Structure 1
Amino acid sequence: MHPRDQHTGSVGNTAESAAQPLRSDAERNRARIIAAARTVFGRDGLSASMASVAREAGVGIATMFRRFPTKEELVAAVFADRMDAYVRATAEALANPEPWSGFTSYIETVCAMQAADRGFADVLTMSLPGAETLEACRAEAYQGFLELIARAKDSGDLREDFTSRDLVLLLMANAGVLSATGEHAPDAWRRPVAWMIQSFKTPARGPLPDPPEDAALYQAMRRTSLGLTSPETGKGR
């Protein structure tokens, strides 16, 4: 090998060895940001700012936005495993041979998931078009819930005027209860959820007002997610 070739090879090896720590550092920063976001979102909900996540992770805001250019991308990374669990809850409920038990256990499980993680309580009541994986999981769980509804109605246990929109309203209501009582009465949510479940059962005690239209409910879910796509100000919603 020509001496110049030897020198070039040495430089190349040095550059390659230097690049590896950079890649490792980037991955470590990403993992730290996700772990910090789990803590911050779980404690404060999705209203927490990107800057607060960066402080928790011990990284600069510029590093934060290099790893996650939008808040939706960060939310998707943080809650991917919880959305997988959400889908599994639907499958487990459908595997229950008792339609009413499967239906009610699903509602209780999902509400308990909200209670365990304030950030996830927000995710379940939002539509996040920029988080395609989360939305795909939501769609899969929704189809399973439609089947749970149909089975519970066919068995004569679920009142005929119940719709899938009623679950969205219940989750929104539960998120509100958790926000108000979580710090001082963390199990308070169980009582209104039990009331709601009992009200779903036949025989119906009386007629209900019409549920919101699908488009209106979707807009309500979108409204709660406004601000997740943030500029590099570090501000939240």
Structure 2
Amino acid sequence: MTEQLTHNLRSDARENRDRVLDAARSLFAERGLDVTMRQIARRAGVGPATLYRRFPAKQLLVEEAFAQELQACVDILAEGCDDPNPWRGFCSMIERMSVLTVRNQGFVDAFLANGRYDGAFAEHRRRLVPMLGDLAARARAAGGLRADFVLDDFVLIQLGARGLTGLPAEERERAARRHAALVIESLRADRERGVLPTPAPLVRLVLQGCE
């Protein structure tokens, strides 16, 4: 009897945790990170006490909710770096990152929000920036990427794609691929280009919360 009761309690706890995570992912994707813990609890159909027992701080919930997206970022960039043609790998990375960005408004907010969501997000930012820098350098050396590209431009590209999250869900991916194609065309080195304005220090701003 005691073992059955313990099993039931554990099963209920797992179900509550899964409902909370499903609700958080859904609300973060729809509205970004400004949703409250109380709104998440209401969507999940659990009481606030249950929610805080599982996730005492919102940061813990955000990290758990976006664990798959964080890993997807690493995989996308790693596969781009592994491509023997660095320009092709760079282009693939830009397109896939843009698609990932438009699928979830809250993920981009969390990933770029320096200082607000440290922990796993800060760790991934520290890991991804050098990988991105290496891929860009190799794409530039191979003659594919324009010489004046800087890493701040990548943050700018992602911020631009993030604006597409306001589109109807069924149109976002197509718009993201179009956005990425236009960006890639502007970054090609095989034609005469105008001089770009001085970049904003976006990478430094993103990494401030990692120090």
Question: What range is the shorter-chain TM-score in?
Answer: 0.7 to 0.9
Q: Distance in 2 between matches of 1:157 and 1:76?
A: 36
| Structure 1 counterpart of 2:125, one-letter code | R
Change (3 A) 1:106 1:215: closer
| Structure 1 counterpart of 2:201, one-letter code | E
| Structure 1 counterpart of 2:100, one-letter code | M
Change (3 A) 1:48 1:134: same
Residues 1:77 and 2:70 aligned together: no
Aligned position for 1:7: none
Match of 1:206, SS? coil
Give the TM-score normalised by the residue count of structure 2.
Answer: 0.85
Q: How does 1:1-237 map to 2 (within 5 A)?
A: 14=2, 21-127=8-114, 130-179=117-166, 181-183=167-169, 185-186=171-172, 187-202=174-189, 203-213=191-201, 217-218=205-206
Q: Is residue 114–residue 205 contact of structure 2 (8 Å, CA) maintained in 1?
A: no
Q: Distance in 1 between matches of 2:71 and 2:171?
A: 28
Two-structure CA RMSD over aligned residues (Å): 2.5
Percent pairwise identity: 36
Displacement of 1:94 after TM fit? 1.1
Give the TM-score normalised by the residue count of structure 1.
Answer: 0.76
Q: Distance in 1 between matches of 2:67 and 2:157?
A: 22
Displacement of 1:184 after TM fit? 7.1
| Structure 2 counterpart of 1:124, one-letter code | F
Match of 1:189, SS? helix
Displacement of 1:125 after TM fit? 2.8
Displacement of 1:89 after TM fit? 0.8
Structure 1: any 5+ residue segments left out of the alignment? 1-12, 223-237
Change (3 A) 1:78 1:28: same
Q: Distance in 2 between matches of 1:43 and 1:214?
A: 25
| Structure 2 counterpart of 1:217, one-letter code | L
Aligned position for 1:231: none
Change (3 A) 1:184 1:68: same
Q: Distance in 2 between matches of 1:110 and 1:67?
A: 31
Displacement of 1:148 after TM fit? 0.7
Q: Distance in 1 between matches of 2:26 and 2:69?
A: 14
Task: Say which is worse superposed, 200-209 or 85-94, in terms of deviation.
Answer: 200-209
Q: Distance in 2 between matches of 1:218 and 1:84?
A: 18
Q: Distance in 1 between matches of 2:186 and 2:159?
A: 17
Q: Which runs of 4+ in 1 moved over 6 A?
A: none
Q: Distance in 2 between matches of 1:204 and 1:34?
A: 49
Change (3 A) 1:214 1:38: closer
Match of 1:188, SS? helix
Q: Is residue 125–residue 171 contact of structure 1 (8 Å, CA) maintained in 2?
A: no
Q: Distance in 2 between matches of 1:123 and 1:61?
A: 22
Q: Distance in 2 between matches of 1:207 and 1:62?
A: 56
Q: Is residue 32–residue 57 contact of structure 1 (8 Å, CA) maintained in 2?
A: yes
Displacement of 1:51 after TM fit? 1.9
Report how many residues are paired. 207
